[in-house]
Structure 1
């Protein structure tokens, strides 16, 4: 079987909560590609770690392998998405609690000017404040995005995003932490459970080191913006999400 077919089978097992089977499939593929295709192997290790995470088991070894491989990929001469790889490595180091390494790799990523990405993806804004949602919409339109969906609560956002998934669309999600019906970390977890490749940007008035924000970030979100925010801050977060998305294609 090809890697793609094996990965699809593993993802099906993961979705069906057959975590051990999914883990073994992801791990076998990751190890078989470790020396030849660093990027694919790193992503497969990340998926293997997700299987362990959902079982409540320690997934440090898989995250270490992924982080190391993302860095190795970034050093190859012909690597196409060095910035995306470094951002993923930074996320791995954050999960491991290696904050100095995470900061160092993130700073290297920030120095890289990404190639212009053609805007084709939809955006899902999840915020109960109409003024904030309209501000975000205005900013996003300036960045070139045209398909923008606005949801005022968690339940509607989950339903709306699932509809986009069914249409083979993978939106960038801008998620407010303080929703009237569901906490932001709950919404993030539910969306990522349905689609692990989703990019979520958390928007909140909370400090980054609060337990609520840390819990949401640890669920696998791509970036964090603190209110009040600027167009430049939003653009940087969108760039991170787009870089991650490009890596996964």
Structure 2
């Protein structure tokens, strides 16, 4: 599938799709055709691309609404996602390099790649066949070690990133209920399937402002009595 057929970000993704991704983890809700084509399939590169895009949208939403309570959650979520993205890159690169001819130009380019982009610096010389075998074994351990680091990080953050299932179900965001409340507060009609997330956030902020204003007015009336 082409990424040009997806929603691009905070300014255009419908609020319904945004919360569907949050609820299910299914990134296919980024695709405009997903309503009609539930059999839609994504490649690994598309999945990574859209996962990064979703992180960016979350960051934009937090900044826009000043949702400080979520900042720590998404910091840890982003950290784990970044680690997983790196693990995917180095695992793919390792799968390639082990099949290359030692001493070949492309093999040495991969050595430079691991050094310059993934910071896996091998300090010993690469001259004889044994040297290249030693390098592969060293690199295998580095990849394995990084995989362990990802697993440990996920485990350390599990209390935040993977809350209790029952608690998660009880706290499930009811977008239809929220829509009704917003409509009543702002006296407007809202289509959650077309309303961009940024407009939804703006309406939530306005509803909160109106609630504060109403409370102030009510307090004034009470104080006069």
* TM-score of the two chains, using structure 2 as the length reference: 0.26
* Structure that is richer in helix per residue: 2
Q: Give the TM-score taking structure 1 as reference length.
A: 0.24
Structure number with the higher strand fraction is 1
Q: Which structure would you say has the larger Rg?
A: 2
